Structure 1
Amino acid sequence: MKMKRVHRVLATMTTALAVFAAPTAALAASDTAHRVGLEEGLDDITSTSAVGALMDVRDEHGGWRGTSGVAELGTTQKVSAHARFRIGSITKTFVATVTLQLAAEDRLGLDDTVDTWLPGALPNGNKITVRQLLNHTSGVPDYRPTLPMPPAPQFLDNRLRTWSAADLIQRAVVNPPTFEPPGSDYAYSNTGYLLLGQIIEKVTGRSYGEEIERRIIRPLRLHGTSLPGTSPYIRGPHAHGYVPIQRGSGVRLVDLTAMNPSVMGAGGEMISTARDLNRFLAALLGGDLVPDHLLDAMKAPGVHDRKYGLGLQWQDTSCGVRVYGNDGDALAYQSWSFSTQDGHRQVTIALTPDFRGDPDDAVDALVDKAFCDRPSRGASWGT
């Protein structure tokens, strides 16, 4: 090859590499900006309404984890991206999944009445169905308003008390139905999920916790997920959680990391991690846990103006993508976990609120950003 031709070939190759390098650099800059945007969103939450926060975003290309704030007040200890936390009402999605698996096995029917499985548990148990318990259209009163709640100091008197589902259900049903007839309206009821936990035990001969363990936790290898029952402790890495309690003329935060979760039971006792919740929702929305017709039923509203189906809720993002999942309030811990319908992308956020403000709007905006302002196609998130 002549020298002039060699120079021409090298020049052509250099030009070609530059052409490829330019968009690659632009994509990298876009991905960096996206991550910075997520980090700033977390920082905004901890600057206004939380002690600490974490976030885990997953898609087919990988994932990103971020944290903000501190794991314990009065320290500089960072929040672990792998931290475990109380997931509150996201527990309901696990309970609903097991209930639908039993329906798929023809071991119960969604239109079975409560009296079919728990005769006498409710005054009108012959009119309320399993389906209505799942989608909060039963009218069964919620038991939580019957208990002392923060900031009442009496709340702390019960922090280590063991509650049975029967005790809590009885506290609820001394009150009249929230509405009648069943199925005609929507009212969120933790009591309904306590009843579902009892129905699962009646059908299977095992507790709802054992069924969740063997049907979901072990098969999906959710190593950071557990049902603590009456144990007050969070095993493994975790942030401290706090609640506001009235003290004299003021309110101060009290550490509620250790508490007996039996007060939440099948409606909210579980502990998990952001990674595990993302894996669970990917499997559920991907069709790995319940058959398609029952997954469709999970995504059907109980009443037309609500975005809540059978243990699953949804929201529409600004980019037109509908995402499914649930959120949870376990008093000292709050969490949000959502997935695209195809199960290809998940976002989980958890925080320990400090009650200076309401984080809901900021979290909704951050979830929206995570789903809509995506990194470049084919780009690696890293871990």
Structure 2
Amino acid sequence: MARKISEALDVAAAARADGATAPGAAAGQDRPELQKAIEEIVESGFLGVSLRVHDERGEWAGSAGAAELGGTGKPPTNGHVRIGSATKTFTATLALQLVAEGRIGLDVPVANYLPEFGLDERITVRMLLQHTSGVFNFTGEVDGDGTVAPGIPIPYGTTGKEWLDNRFTTYRPRELVELALSRPARFEPGTSWSYSNTNYVLARLVIEKVTGRSLAEEVRRLILGPLGLSGTVVPDASPEIPAPHAHAYYRSEEDGRPTTTDITRQNPSWISTGGDMISTTRDLHTFISALLGGRLLPASLLAEMCAPHPTGIPNMDYGLGVFVVNTDGGTLISHNGAAVGHAALMYSTPDGRKTLTAALNCVDDAGLSIAPAFLSAQQRLVDEVFRAGQAGHTAGSCG
């Protein structure tokens, strides 16, 4: 069940480098309603929050809470954060850029690119990006009757302490895929929807196979370099996170006594392309705004990316690496992510002109006790930023 809660964080979820406030972003003075919103999120149980909003009033950036447990300094307004499953939007964008280059076919069987895995030949690249492949999630699955089918040790549920003790272990992408493929498929390819990190590790391997280069090199070539995203990192197996950053923590029990561990440094290879990237609120804004503004993909592929596919989740469909969220104010394009003590929010109007990006840090635990506060924080900020002026946008287009 803990994995389902973690999935919900990704789903519903769906300043300068020194931390100073960006020009024109008056650190809570000219937008008191935004400052109040993030202060209320801290009061709900988070250690710290940094928020960046771009809208018709310009840019605003601010922070609340603390960067470190027991400290008094606020989180940097443009600090680095582990963005979790927002990584999937970068990966899907990269795959679609290679489709535009003619190197990947959206409806080509994945087995054509990766014959060594013996994949069902009905599974296409589109199904990976859309979560309709039916491939088992290597971080675990929960069946309809509540039975848990475990995968690798993860920070939540019964394997939380095992993950904590081995948080510097390196997993290779092929190892994660092989584990997933050793388990029964969830459903026949293309017949249903189920969020699976395995899909995006397979997408990574396809990208690396057709280019002959690492995913990190290709992300730098096609996304980070062209957009000047100097604060975004593909860490692979490195436990480091660039400064400045707020700290992430994990609460567990040691010999029956509660203990809190700083897990800011951790090896993210356990989640791989399912959620390993590091970024900043400014870079996330630049990325989602450029993507939806048509700067990274041809119009036809951008439309494919944002075409909503049913998920069974109320008011929330999935495209290719993005959630298509239906709100009272209109349609939003989003992908949030939770990454053990760190979390990131990334929302935009379909034209890329109005965005909300945020970084959160907290004390996490195996039971995901922060989950209700995280879901509430998302809704609080979305309502504050997007509840007006959204009419007229449609779910089937990003333009």
Q: Is 1:138 aligned to 2:143, yes or no?
A: no
Tell me by how many angstroms 1:62 deviates. 2.3
- CA distance in structure 1 between the aligned counterparts of 2:301 and 2:195, rounded to whole angstroms: 21
Largest Rg, 1 or 2: 1
The one-letter amino acid of 1:340's match is T
Aligned mates of 1:251, 1:295 — CA distance in 2:
48
- CA gap 1:373/1:39 in 2 versus in 1, 3 angstroms: farther
Distance 1:251-1:140 versus aligned 2 partners, 3 A rule: farther
In the alignment, what sits opposite 1:189? Answer: 196
Question: Per-residue deviation at 1:302?
Answer: 3.2
Are the structure 2 counterparts of residues 229 and 81 from structure 1 closer, same or farther at C-alpha, using a change threshold of 3 Å?
Answer: same
Mapped partners of 2:344, 2:253: distance in 1:
25
Between the aligned partners of 1:186 and 1:251, the Cα distance in structure 2 is 38
How high is the sequence identity, in percent, across the aligned residues? 41
CA distance change for structure 1 residues 221 and 123 in 2, over 3 Å: closer, same or farther?
Answer: closer
CA distance in 1, matches of 2:237, 2:154: 19
174, 181, 185: which one pairs with 1:177? Answer: 185
Q: Distance in 2 between matches of 1:144 and 1:324?
A: 25
Instruction: Give 1:365's aligned amino acid.
Output: R
**Alignment partner, residue 326 of structure 1:** 335
Aligned to 2:362: 353
Provide runs of 4+ in structure 1 moved above 6 Å: none
Partner Cα distance (2:193, 2:105) in 1: 21
Report the equivalent of 1:35.
Answer: 31
Residues in 1 aligned to 2:85 and 2:230: alpha-carbon distance in whole angstroms: 20
Is the aligned partner of 1:291 residue 2:260? no
Which residue in the other structure is 1:208 paired with? 215
The question of 1:317 aligning with 2:327 is answered yes
The count of corresponding residues between Structure 1 and Structure 2 is: 340
SS in structure 2 of the partner of residue 234 of structure 1: coil
Alignment check: 8 A CA contact 2:308 2:324 kept = no
Name the residue aligned to 1:308.
318
Q: Deviations over 1:122-141 (max 9, x none)?
A: 442x1210000001000111
Between the aligned partners of 1:333 and 1:122, the Cα distance in structure 2 is 36
1:218-241 C-alpha deviation (Å, 9 max, x unpaired)? 110111111112211111200001
Q: For 2:123, what is the secondary structure of its paired residue? A: coil
The answer for the alignment partner of 1:88 in structure 2 is 84
Name the structure where helix makes up a greater proportion of residues: 1
Residues 25-81 of structure 1, C-alpha deviation per residue, up to 9 Å, x if partnerless?
xxxxxxx89822211111111112211111000135520011111000011121110
Q: Which amino acid aligns with 1:59?
A: D
Query: Whole-Å Cα distance in 2 between the matches of residues 90 and 362 of structure 1?
Result: 17
Correspondence for 2:124: 129
What is residue 369 of structure 1 aligned with on the other side? 384
Contact 1:165/1:265, CA 8 A, preserved across alignment: yes
Tell me if the contact between 1:89 and 1:327 (Cα under 8 Å) persists in the aligned partners.
Answer: yes
Letter of the 2:363 counterpart:
D
Q: Aligned partners of 2:341 and 2:229: how far apart in 1? A: 23
- Contact persistence 2:194–2:311 (CA under 8 A): no
How far 1:84 moved relative to its partner?
0.5
Residue 336 in 1 paired to residue 345 in 2?
yes
| Paired residues of 2:341 and 2:361 also in contact (CA < 8 A) | yes
Q: Distance in 2 between matches of 1:368 and 1:166?
A: 41
Deviation at 1:261, TM superposition (A): 1.4
Q: 1:61 to 1:73 in 2, by over 3 A?
A: same
Contact preservation (8 Å) 1:241, 1:257: yes
Aligned residue for 2:36, secondary structure, equals helix
1: CA distance, partners of 2:287 / 2:227: 7
Q: Which residue is equivalent to 2:167?
A: 159
The correspondence for 1:147, drawn from 132, 146, 152, is 152
Aligned partners of 1:154, 1:190: CA distance in 2, in Å?
A: 20
CA distance in 1: counterparts of 2:264 and 2:164, whole angstroms: 12
Task: Identify which of 240, 249, 266 aligns with 1:259.
Answer: 266
Secondary structure in structure 1 of the residue aligned to 2:317: coil
For 2:275, which of 247, 264, 268 is the aligned residue?
A: 268
- Does the 8 A contact of 1:163 with 1:263 survive in 2? yes
Aligned counterparts of 2:68 and 2:118: Cα–Cα separation in 1: 43
RMSD: 1.8
Matches within 5 A, 1:83-122: 83-122=79-118
Answer whether contact 1:208 1:266 (CA < 8 A) is retained.
no
- CA spacing shift, 1:326–1:201, aligned 2, 3 Å: same
The separation in 1 between residues aligned to 2:39 and 2:137, in whole angstroms, is 35
Deviation at 1:246, TM superposition (A): 2.9
